[in-house]
Amino acid sequence: MNEIAEDAVLHEIESAQPAPAAPVNTTTMGVLVALSMSHMMNDTIQAVMPAIYPLLKENYTLTFTEIGLISVAFMMSSSVLQPLVGLYTDRNPKPYSLAMGMGITLCGLVLLSFAGSYRVVLVAAALIGAGSAIFHPEASRLAHLAAGRRHGFAQSLFQVGGNFGSSLGPLLAAWIIVPRGQGAVLWFSLIACVAIIVLSMVGRWYAAHLDARRRTPASAGPTKRKYDLSRRATAFALGILVVLIMSKFFYMISLTNYYTFYLIDTFGVSVQTSQIYLFVFLFAVAAGTIAGGPLGDHFGRKAIIWVSILGVAPFSLALPHMGLTGTVVLSMFAGAILASAFSAILVFAQELVPGRVGLVAGLFFGFAFGISGIASAALGKVADWTSIGYVFQVCAYLPLLGIFAALLPGRKHRV
């Protein structure tokens, strides 16, 4: 990370005034940038796992099913814990929990670098997942808090950091880990240490906000509802969002976890070259993420969700039938379009259930991680039974589920 840029962000966080107790109309950019940078570092570390799957497969003579179980260990530990973290911190805010969560991730990285068996790799993956479980709902809450009225923009800025980090992971793995071996994972602990420092500064800002809120409890206004729905209609809308999350992440995991294997198996590229192509795909995902939130703020979240999932179908359906260049280009378009969905879906859900930002973030991040873990294991099993190429042909139809976005409610009013 650029040292000057880091110092500038930390200075802006330190100098930021605590948010008043009432809902604010201004956007605290220093905090949002710091959260986005932290998300980048967190997801760079997370992306190391799938990026080194070919290396782990060779080191431990693993099947695709066992590769999928590594993702299950990571994704499920994160999935189960995230809603619990969100529910707990909605009622008991913990300003420095983000830094503590990154400390758990650091422990997982160190263990992964020294792992001598498949079982230890599973434990390390679970620790990294647990750290992520603390990070995502809490960081999403702080992004919501620092957003002012620009909630879509704030979530997109937060998400783009994570997606950019996910794109960096395979590239750094290709440069650092593949030539040197599994022990080189230890170098990524430096990223975790920097993230702990940044998140400690964010925690200081959050502590100041909580202190200001305790001093002026009567100034908080009522939570505005953006949808005039019954509880049953709200539950139905949340169910539709869950279906859309499932289609998005099932298809996305086929690319992030098995794209390298597909390129190696289908086109005979090297491991390092496949990881560079994975970086290109994930960079396109990062580029597409930043558009979803602001466009949702302007045009409405329903329209963006509709376009960003169903709009991927032409590219996903054509991808398994293309050559190497066509595959790379179509994967970039699919990733960029699909990436705009999650920020819009998350803010849509938070607007459906106002006042429960941490719980909603925990549930949706947790479900996303959980479905990703299940998808990874299931697709690995299918790949063992058939082939990686068959997996890509089947998953190509998943974006068609975006048609269910038509059942989402419209907004009562714009804000």
pLDDT bin (cut points 50, 70, 90) of residue 219 is very low
Q: Which residues contact 168 (CB under 8 A, 6 or more apart)?
A: 40, 44, 47, 279
Distance between CA 152 and CA 52 in Å, rounded?
Answer: 33
Flag whether pLDDT at 367 surpasses 80. no
Does 367 or 95 have the greater pLDDT score?
A: 95
Flag whether pLDDT at 20 surpasses 50. no
The mean per-residue pLDDT over the stretch 360-364 comes to 77
Flag whether pLDDT at 251 surpasses 60. yes
**C-alpha torsion angle, residues 156, 159, 164, 170 (rounded to 10):** -150
The mean per-residue pLDDT over the stretch 332-356 comes to 81
Query: pLDDT tens across 93-120, in order?
Result: 888 999 999 999 999 999 999 988 999 9
- What does the chain come to in residues? 415
Q: Of 10-14, 54-58, 189-193, 238-242, which gets the smallest average pLDDT? A: 10-14
Q: Residue 88: what pLDDT?
A: 83
Flag whether pLDDT at 69 surpasses 70. yes
pLDDT bin (cut points 50, 70, 90) of residue 221 is very low
Q: Of 16-20, 266-270, 335-339, which gets the smallest average pLDDT? A: 16-20
Whether the CB-CB separation of 244 and 345 falls below 8 Å is answered with yes
The mean per-residue pLDDT over the stretch 57-83 comes to 83
Q: Residue 26: what pLDDT?
A: 63
Q: Residue 353: what pLDDT?
A: 81
The two three-digit tokens of residue 145, written as one number: 């808090």
Q: Residue 298: what pLDDT?
A: 67
Q: Crossing angle for the helix pair 118-145 and 151-172, nearest 10 degrees?
A: 150
Q: Residue 164: what pLDDT?
A: 78
**Count of CA atoms in the C-beta half-sphere (13 A) of 48:** 35
The mean per-residue pLDDT over the stretch 171-183 comes to 83
Q: Residue 22: what pLDDT?
A: 40
Whether the CB-CB separation of 35 and 142 falls below 8 Å is answered with yes
The mean per-residue pLDDT over the stretch 75-103 comes to 83
The mean per-residue pLDDT over the stretch 32-37 comes to 90
In degrees, to the nearest 5, what angle opens at C-alpha 14 toward C-alphas 13 and 19?
Answer: 70
Q: Of 157-166, 208-217, 328-337, which gets the smallest average pLDDT? A: 208-217
Best CA proximity match to 259, nearest among 162, 310, 309, 334: 334
Flag whether pLDDT at 4 surpasses 60. no
Flag whether pLDDT at 247 surpasses 50. yes
Q: Residue 10: what pLDDT?
A: 45
Q: Residue 109: what pLDDT?
A: 92
Q: Residue 23: what pLDDT?
A: 44
Q: Residue 121: what pLDDT?
A: 92
pLDDT bin (cut points 50, 70, 90) of residue 266 is very high
Give me the amino acid identity at 123: V
Flag whether pLDDT at 16 surpasses 70. no
Helix, strand, coil share (%) of the chain residues, nearest 5: 85, 0, 15
Distance between CA 148 and CA 145 in Å, rounded?
Answer: 7
Domains and CATH numbers, the chain: 28-215+224-407 (1.20.1250.20)
Q: Residue 122: what pLDDT?
A: 93
Flag whether pLDDT at 359 surpasses 80. no
Query: pLDDT tens across 145-172, in order?
Result: 887 777 777 777 887 787 778 778 777 8
